[in-house]
Amino acid sequence: MVSERIGINPKRRHKINIMRKRKKPNLILVIILVLLFLAIALLLLRPPEDDWITDSKGVWIKHGFPSNTPDYVLAQQGAIVCALELYNQSYSDNLSSECLGYCETYAIDIVSVPRTAEDDLKKNQCEKITTGKLNHFIELDKYGNLVRVA
C-alpha cells in the first residue's frame, strides 16, 4: 500500500480519515444552528399580530385578537360616540364648516367633503384646537359621517 511506502502507520491513517469525516458534520451543525437562531429572532422581532392599528380615517381598530383594550382606544371610541350624539342634537339642514363642540379631549368639527378653503378658516375651527388647548379632533361631514380622527 501507498501508506506503508511513505511510512504512515495504517492505524494512524484510519484516525486521520475519522478526523476528516468529523469536520463536515460540525460545519453542517453550525449552519443549522445559525439558521435556527435567525428563525427564532425573526419570530421574536416581528410586529405583534394581536394589536390595535389605525385605519385610513385615524380610528383605532382591532388587528387580530388583542387581549385588552388600551385606555387611548377606549377614549377615542367614547369620543366618537359622543361626537355622533352631539351631531344628532345639533342637526340641521344647513350645517357647514363649523365647530360643533367638545367631547372629552376631542374637538368636534363639521367639514366639507372634499375639504374647501372654508374649512380652514379660523372662525370655522374649534377655538381649543386653534389655541392649542386640545390636540385631538373628530371631523364629521354635514351628514354626520366620520371623515377623520386625529
Q: Dihedrals φ, ψ of 51, to 5°?
A: -150, 180
The DSSP output letter for 44 is H
Q: Where are the chain's structural domains?
A: 2-45, 54-149
Contact 148, 139 (CB under 8 A): yes
Strands 106-110 and 136-140 come out as parallel
Using one digit for the tens of pLDDT, what is the confidence trace for 59-69? Answer: 999 988 888 99
Return d(Cα 118, Cα 95) in angstroms, integer: 13
Distance CA 81, CA 76 (A): 9
pLDDT digits (tens, 9 = 90+) for 117-140: 888 888 888 888 888 898 999 999
Q: Which of the four pLDDT bands, split at 50, 70 and 90, describes residue 83?
A: very high
